[in-house]
Structure formats: structure tokens, C-alpha cells
Amino acid sequence: MRRQSIKRDNPPTIPPALESGATTLGDPHVLNDVLTRPVPQDVARDERATEAPAPAAWTAPVLSGSGDAVVDLREAIRAKLTFALGRTPETARPRDWFAATALTLRERIVAAALASERGVPNKRVYYLSLEFLIGRLMSDALNNLGLTETTRSALRELGIDLDAVQEAEPDAALGNGGLGRLAACFMESMASIGIPAMGYGIRYDHGLFRQSFEDGWQREAPETWLAEGNPWEFARPEATYTIGFGGSVTLSSPEEGVIRRHWQPAETVRAVAHDVPVVGWRGRHVNGLRLWKAEAGEPVDLARFNGGDHVGAVAARMRAEAISRVLYPSDSSAEGQELRLRQEYFFTAASIQDLVARHVAERGDVRSLPDHAAIQLNDTHPAIAVPELMRVLLDVHGLSWEDAWHVTTHTLHYTNHTLLPEALETWPVELMERLLPRHMQIIYLINWMHLEEQAKHGRQDAAYLASISLIDESHGRRVRMGHLAFHGARRVNGVSALHTDLMRSTVFSDLHALDPDKIVNKTNGITFRRWFHNANPGLTRLAVETVGAGVLDDPELLRGLEARAEDPAFVARYAAVRRERKEALAALIAERTGIDVDPAALFDVQVKRIHEYKRQLLNVVETVALYQAIKAEPHRDWTPRVKIFAGKAAPSYVQAKLIIKLACDVAKAVNDDPEVADRLKVVFLPNYSVSLAESIIPAADLSEQISTAGMEASGTGNMKFALNGALTVGTLDGANIEIRDHVGAENIFIFGLEADGVRARQAEPDYAARAIQASPRLAAALDMIAAGRFSPEEPGRFRPLTDDLRRRDQYLLTADFDDYWRVQRAIDAAWRDPRGWWAKAIRNTARMAWFSSDRAMREYAEEIWRVRLG
């Protein structure tokens, strides 16, 4: 079936600006994709009809490039299905079609890479991260190559629905939350704006666990994204490095008057590269994400096997492979287990070897590394890069200490993502000495020189030296990875203005005083391609039609929407897009939880990792108070709300799991209470993921960003919601502050203590008990929970939560409760004024351009990496 058969009653309207952006990758018209993509639910499934009608929701016709492009793609996909996968169209499952399509797109990406090849770049960025929370890759690839509609047509001609194919892609959940998702956004932005870059991480067999609920309790199951292979990746067995652990350090015989040290590891593991291409917007640039898989040197110990010990024969292999087996599921608390340190060293050492080898091959002299490579350490997880790079320079390349230190401290940069004490990594000296003896020697020497330098300047008081030392001696001797990364880096950055200020004034204050220019701020960002164009094609299309297609390249043009914030025709269309997304989410909620929600109600959303500092409990307690208020006055004109939660708790985080259970138990009581009816519904969606976020965020009216001030380093979900037009209810924490500055204080709902107020309050004795006493509403809600109203079969179930609030309340829930209640009622009132509400929502969308990760990456490129855009 040829493309000509598709209806073309309206002439395509391709803005010339888009055509001029054409690449050699095919028909330039396909770059117009985002304009013409139907919203997912409008797409007819499995349509074989020759006369495919244009989906109802859009006015422009299908624009899929020339018929030839469709035919070429169709035949390429068919060939992949047959010859690469060995399936026939008749027997192929959606997963097979996904693989065939991905393999086909991968070829186009390689073609784009070759087309954009500009020889050896002058400088590359290496982004080292233990986590990359990528999600699905197909919509990124399709949209950035401008091939969505061509592919949709090609598959349709094969009787296949593109949406079903996309649904068959498993999420690559190689990360826990914000830090990992940020790394993924940054990779996409670097490819889009042309920063030559490579990401380095671990190819975990099992990403973040799958969450289900059993009677409201979180259950974890292994995640199996690689069960059927990964069609995006290229295995590169030729790029394999040997990584050592343990053993001892020997001295060489003095040659030319220098004594060299040699590390003789007791154990070695092989790191095998697997590359995932990252294609940027319009296919102009392609970068690589290199993920290391751990393998044993020898797959089997033949002598043991032949001796009959069949299990023991593969023990070493199991031990080696364990390194890349699973992602650690803890977020914001350091677990301190040996396997974690092995993971950190494994991927850091492989990456350093790889990039040094590339540099030497290209430039000859390792001393020029800082001119041609900028390494970014994503938090302290790769901080072992400091002594590892020193070791390679000293022991392998024979540099002097001074030269090696110069190269190291001019190549490395470090991003801090949290100041929570329990999340600051430290490793016992004893463990480091056993696992990485040479690195420990180097750390001692770095520290000795660092402290000696201070002594020379007369700063010898013990408390001061203890505070800047790389070794914490207050409870056993432990290496402070944050101090190590700080000291070894040329620049250190925080991820929002407030967070960076707090870095300077708290955890790193003494180190900051030694080098006041070292700490810089780089407020986080999000990639608009995924979180706006792909997640919300309806709103994107409305923006394009209103301010022009240039908005796809320059989000600053969103500003043009401001003028329409009170234009009834525009507001109606904006509201219609939201309504359509809410209906889709309501259907998903019904399917996954059995709960019916009314799409006309206010969708109030808190989705993120479950952590006490993020204060999901504040939201749940407010829900209970609202429930009580509705019960007390059932006939009042309540604003109908749906409270939507999603998020995973670390499997070992008992308190967080109990908060989930409370949310689920409150949901049951509220949803089953006929007196409440549609005025309040509570939903906990299981298994939060990047893909689920893409469905939830465009459907949100209200975005909950309610962490205790000073504790959320930045947040990035807050940006995704505001861009999509949800209004924020939030504290002055992290990037919420900058969001308020951009969208305007009248378009955001701020409440609660500020960071300094939090500190002052924490110093007051019995602050929680007094706050509860002063708030009858809070006291009543807590009493209801503590009395077992939501857990009649086990009345004391939630006492650990309520007791903690009464006695300690580290996260100041009690201090902020009344103000939170007040602002929520102001939100109820605002919702009852639709014109006012939509004007605020539109102004949010219009003013969020600055939060693009393209902006963040440009700042890093100019002010940290000093790298030119390609």
C-alpha cells in the first residue's frame, strides 16, 4: 500500500523555518513531525484500511514525507523483522515490532552520526554517572530524527500501530530518581545543542525494582529490561578494560632516581563497553552513552570443574558479574556496602582508562588532557576518579606528583546533589585499604599535602584541620568522598541557587573559604523534547500554532503565549488539551487501580521518590484533615479534588514504606465513603517510572513540591509540571524559588517556613508538641490516624508515624501544617475561578523556557567545561 492512498484534503503547511533545518536524513518535511502528531489515544489501532482517515483531533493532515520515505522505512523494518529477528509479520509480537523498528532507527542514527561527523573535536565532555534514568528511547529517536509520522505510516502499512510498538519498549530504569533523570536530560541536551560528549555508566542487568502493592504494602520485584535484549545498544567487546581489586602495592627498583609504585591487584574483572547512541534534536548531532558490563577474566575455572566442583568453578565469574547485576535502590541514603564501592570503582576506572586511551591516541601526550577533556562527576559516586586518575598518571604514565595533580585538578569537576547528612558518602578507611590499597595511599598523600598547606599558613587548630580533612575521624576513620571530589575538582557546582548558597555556608564552608571561586551554581533543567514535545503533543501543537514553529528550537518563544492568557478562544483550546490528558489519565487510573475519578475535578499530584524530607506525609495528613472537614460539613460547596500519588520507597526504608501504606489506607477509607462521593478521591498509582510520569504530568492541575525548606537540592519534576501548566503548591526550597521568580509570585502558591526559619525552629525545644497543641485541626487529624481509624484491623499500625511527629518531627511537618492548609483552601477558591486559573496556568507555560536543560548545558559548557558547541 502506497502513501498516496492516505487522504490529503488539507494542504500541508510547513513553515519554511522548519524546512531550512533539514538534514540529509530524508525528507525535510518529516522534521515537521511534532506539529502533526496525533495525541496517542486518537490513533486507530491495527488499522489495515487503505484509506486511513486523519485522526480527528488535529487539523493538519498526515505529513509523513514522500511516499518513498515511507516505503523505504516499511521495507527496512520488514527486513529487520525477518533477517535480524527471524520472525514473520504473522507471528511477530509488539515486542518484535519494537525491536525491528528500533534496529531500523538505530541505522538511521548511525547515518546521522556519520553525516554530522566533524573529525576529532577539540574538547569532549565526559559525564560520569552511576545512574542514567533514561526511560524509553523510541520517541526521542523518532522525534529528534523527525521520523514519527513516516514510521507511523510505514507500520500502519504493515498493519501495525506505532503506539502499541512504543508501549512494548521497556523503560531503561538505570537510576533511582532526580539525579539519574537529570543525567538523561543532560545527555539529550548535549546531543541537541552540539556538545561533543560521552556519558559513562553501568549497564545494570536489573534496573530499579518493579513496585506493586499487596494490601497497600509496597512489594519489590526484579526489573528485567534486558530479558529480550536491547536493540539500541552496540556491544563493543573490543573496548574491554581490566579493573583490579585488592592485592598489594610494591615498589619498583629506583630508576633515574625515581621510585615508582605498582599495584598488584589480587582480583581482576573485565569491563566491556556497550554503547547506546543519543541522537539530538533534528538529528544534527549524535553522542554516545557508554555503559560498562562486568565480566570475569575466565568464564570458568576448568581445573575445579574437572575436579567435580561445578558450582565452585563459576564462583569467580558470579562474583565478577555481580558488579553490574543490579542498581542499588537507595536514594538519598548511603548504604555503605562493599558491592556498592566495587560498582563505583569499576565504572570509574573503566571510564578513566577509556578516555585517557582515547586522548593519548588522538593527542599523544597525556599532559594535555585538560585542554581536550572535561570530566563531570555526577555526585560523589564516581569521586574515586580523583585518586584513580592520579594513579594512572603517576604509575602508568610516569608523571611527577605535581604534573599529575595539575592534570587531575584541571580535568575533573564535581556536581553535588544533596546536603542531607545521611546521603553524604563516606567509606571506612579499612575497606578502602583492603579493596583499593594504592588509591588509599594516594588519598593519604593528597590529604597530607592539603593539610600541610594550611599549616604553612599558620592554620593549625585541630578543629579546623578536622573539618577540611579528607578523612573523618569522628566515628571510626572514613574517607569523605565529598571532600575528596571537592578538592580534586576545578569547579564544584550546586543545582539551584539556594542549594549552592547552602553548600557555601554549611557542608563545604571551610573548603569554600580556601578557594571562593570554586563553587558555582548551575540550576538544573529538563529536556523540553521529552517533557513537552513528546509528552504533551497537544499543547506543543497549540504553542506552535500560536507562536510559530520556531518554538520547537527556541523555547523562549513560549513567551508569546502570555498575550493570550486571557483570550477566551485560546484558553478554551488550552483547557481542552488538559481535559483530554486528564481523561486519558483517568482511564489509566481506572485500569491500574480500579478507582473511578472525575476528570472535571482538580488533579492534585505528588509523584517522586518517597522520602520523609519530601513530606508526602504532610500531604496525607492534610488529606485526612480535609476528609474530616468534608464529613463535618458535607453540604458545603467543596472543590472536588483527586489526590494522586506515585513513587517508590527504598526497600530498606521502613518509615517511607509505612507512609505509602498510610496513603493507601486513607485512600480506601475516603474512596469508599459515600458521604464524600466525588468531592475527594485518593489514588496511589503503582510502579512510578519515566513513562508513567510522561502520562501523569500533562494531566496535572496542581504540582506538589512541599519539601522542608533547605532539603530538596533542586527538584526537576517541579519544572516539568510548571512547563505543562500545572500550578505549583510549594515551599521556598530548591528550584521552586527560581520557578517563582520566573512565573511570578501571583502564579504559584507558596507556603511554609524558609530555610533559615527551619533551622531556627529546629533549635527550639519541643517545637512539634507545641505546634500540634496550637493547631486543633492538625491534632484531630493525627488523633484519627493514631487511633486506628484507617487501620481498624491493626489500630497501632501508624503509631511510628504519629509518635515521630509528636516527639521529633525532623522535617517540620507540624510547623508548616496550618499554612499548608491555608494555601490549599486558597487553591480551592482559585479553582472555582476558571478564567483566573487558566491565565495562571498559561503564564506558567509561557515563562518556563529558562528551565530547559539546553540552557543548563550551555552554562556548563561556557563556565565549567570551557568547551565549544559543535
Which residues are catalytically annotated? 417, 608-609, 614, 716, 720
Out of 354, 712, 804, 854, point to the residue binding ligand 26W (CB under 6 A).
Answer: 712
Among positions 767-826, residues that touch ligand 26W (CB under 6 A) are none
Residues in contact with 82: Cβ distance below 8 Å, sequence separation at least 6, in sequence order: 88
CB closer to ligand 26W out of 423 and 737: 423
SS (H, E, C) 824-850: HHHHHHHHCCHHHHHHHHHHHHHCCHH
Q: Least CB distance from residue 466 to ligand 26W, whole Å? A: 23
Q: What letters, b where the CB count within 10 A reaches 16 and e where it falls short, cover 130-168?
A: bbbbbbbbbbbbbbbbbbbbbbbbbbbbbebbbbebbeb
Measured at the CA of 850, the angle between CA 845 and CA 854, to 5 degrees, comes to: 115
Among positions 382-421, residues that touch ligand 26W (CB under 6 A) are 417-418
Instruction: Cell numbers for 331, please give them.
Output: 536514594
Q: Least CB distance from residue 647 to ligand 26W, whole Å? A: 13
Q: In 495-635, at which residue ranges do the beta strands (DSSP E only) sit?
A: 519-521, 602-607
Does residue number 495 form part of the binding site for ligand 26W (CB under 6 A)? yes
Instruction: Cell numbers for 407, please give them.
Output: 592534570
**Nearest-CB residue to ligand 26W?**
178
Q: Which stretch binds ligand 26W (CB under 6 A): 214-222, 312-320, 326-334, 502-510?
A: 326-334
Residue 61 carries which DSSP code?
A: P
Does residue number 178 form part of the binding site for ligand 26W (CB under 6 A)? yes
CB closer to ligand 26W out of 404 and 423: 423
Does residue number 606 form part of the binding site for ligand 26W (CB under 6 A)? no
Does residue number 177 form part of the binding site for ligand 26W (CB under 6 A)? yes
Q: Least CB distance from residue 332 to ligand 26W, whole Å? A: 5
Measured at the CA of 852, the angle between CA 847 and CA 856, to 5 degrees, comes to: 125
The footprint of ligand 26W on this chain (CB under 6 A) covers a number of residues equal to 22
- The binding track of 723-762 with respect to ligand 26W, each residue x by CB under 6 A or -, is -----------x----------------------------
Out of 73, 103, 134, 182, point to the residue binding ligand 26W (CB under 6 A).
Answer: 182
Q: Least CB distance from residue 335 to ligand 26W, whole Å? A: 7
CB closer to ligand 26W out of 177 and 199: 177
Q: Which stretch binds ligand 26W (CB under 6 A): 287-295, 595-603, 713-721, 788-796?
A: 713-721
Q: In 471-614, at which residue ranges do the beta strands (DSSP E only) sit?
A: 471-472, 478-480, 491-494, 519-521, 602-607
Element at 275 (helix H, strand E)? strand 267-279
Does residue number 468 form part of the binding site for ligand 26W (CB under 6 A)? no
Out of 331, 604, 622, 809, point to the residue binding ligand 26W (CB under 6 A).
Answer: 331
Does residue number 425 form part of the binding site for ligand 26W (CB under 6 A)? yes
Q: Least CB distance from residue 176 to ligand 26W, whole Å? A: 6
Instruction: Cell numbers for 675, please give them.
Output: 458521604
- The binding track of 506-525 with respect to ligand 26W, each residue x by CB under 6 A or -, is ------------------x-
Out of 150, 527, 703, 716, point to the residue binding ligand 26W (CB under 6 A).
Answer: 716
Query: Do β-strands 702-705 and 727-730 pair in parallel, antiparallel, or remain unpaired?
Result: parallel
Does residue number 379 form part of the binding site for ligand 26W (CB under 6 A)? yes
Instruction: Cell numbers for 720, please give them.
Output: 516539568
The answer to whether the CB of 24 falls within 8 A of the CB of 87 is no
Among positions 610-639, residues that touch ligand 26W (CB under 6 A) are none
Q: For 110, left (φ over 0), alpha (ψ -120 to 50), or beta?
A: alpha
Does residue number 179 form part of the binding site for ligand 26W (CB under 6 A)? yes
Out of 162, 271, 289, 334, point to the residue binding ligand 26W (CB under 6 A).
Answer: 334
- Helices and strands of the chain, counted as H and E runs: 35, 24
Does residue number 715 form part of the binding site for ligand 26W (CB under 6 A)? yes
Please tell me the distance from the alpha carbon of residue 748 to that of residue 422, in angstroms, as a whole number. 31
Task: Tally Cβ neighbours within 10 Å of residue 862.
Answer: 12
Kindly report the length of the chain: 870
Q: Least CB distance from residue 188 to ligand 26W, whole Å? A: 15
Out of 151, 527, 714, 853, point to the residue binding ligand 26W (CB under 6 A).
Answer: 714
Q: Least CB distance from residue 642 to ligand 26W, whole Å? A: 26
Q: What letters, b where the CB count within 10 A reaches 16 and e where it falls short, cover 226-254?
A: beeebbbbeeeeebebebbbebeeeeeee
Residues in contact with 608: Cβ distance below 8 Å, sequence separation at least 6, in sequence order: 177, 178, 614, 647, 688, 717
Contact set with ligand 26W (CB under 6 A)? 177-179, 182, 330-334, 379, 417-418, 423, 425, 495, 524, 712-716, 734
